[in-house]
Amino acid sequence: MVERYPGYDVLSKRNSPSWNEQTRRVIDERLAIRPDAHRFLEDREFLTLQAVCARIIPQPSDRAHPVPLAAMIDQKLEKDTRDGYRDYRMPPLREAWQRGLRALEAEALQRHGKPFHQLNAKEQDTLLTAVQRGEAHDAAWGDMPPELFFKKRLLHDIAASYYAHPASWNEIGFGGPASPRGYVRLDYDRRDPWEAVEAHPGRTEAARWENYRLGRDPFHGG
């Protein structure tokens, strides 16, 4: 993956005017989530979820601390943190995820004789594509349309979890919650001095230096 914001680490803003105590507390809680932690899903369901997350959003192999996607979703399920709305064709959050994961497992066993997490990447992608297209028909789906599970739960929750974590914020140059500092320059293609600098051809090292300064000079940057 090409480094779009070289040298940028959103966590360097932790003790700067950009973040308040509430922001620091929320981020610390997310960083403390262990990748293998699960309290709601059963072990086999969690293995399936981990494998699904790895196919939906593959993370850089050299990332020291990958986003614990499966654990974040399990935490959402354990707390039963719902969206506040629901497609009438879908069951509630917990039931949708449990039924969907068990149906994926059943599809994998029917088609390949192995659980989903033991399939190779191509087999997993082919099966997920079938679910996305509504071409999965195991009885375990019940009356939940597989294509809606893919769109409304699987994609939605995995992507939302990924972009709620500081590791992904570094990729997109996001500074985290804008509290209490906020933003001033709101016009197109304008940036505040405490926002990450995007690298352009021939300007990589300049961007790296500016991003390095962000969290170290509270008045200029973080």
What secondary structure, in 3-state letters, does the chain show? CCCCCCCCCHHHHCCCCCECHHHHHHHHHHHCCCCCCCCCCCHHHHHHHHHHHHHHCCCCCCCCCCCCHHHHHHHHHHHCCCCCCCCCCCCCHHHHHHHHHHHHHHHHHHHHCCCHHHCCHHHHHHHHHHHHCCCCCCHHHCCCCHHHHHHHHHHHHHHHHHCCCHHHHHHHCCCCCCECCCCCCCCCCCCCCCCCCCCCCCCHHHHHHHHHHHCCCCCCCC
Question: What's the pLDDT at 2?
Answer: 59
For 148-184, how does the pLDDT look when each residue is reduced to its tens digit (9 = 90+)?
Answer: 999 999 999 999 999 999 999 999 999 888 778 888 8
For 61-95, how does the pLDDT look when each residue is reduced to its tens digit (9 = 90+)?
Answer: 888 889 999 999 999 999 999 999 999 999 999 99
Please, what is the average pLDDT of the chain?
A: 92
pTM of the model: 0.90
Question: What's the pLDDT at 119?
Answer: 98
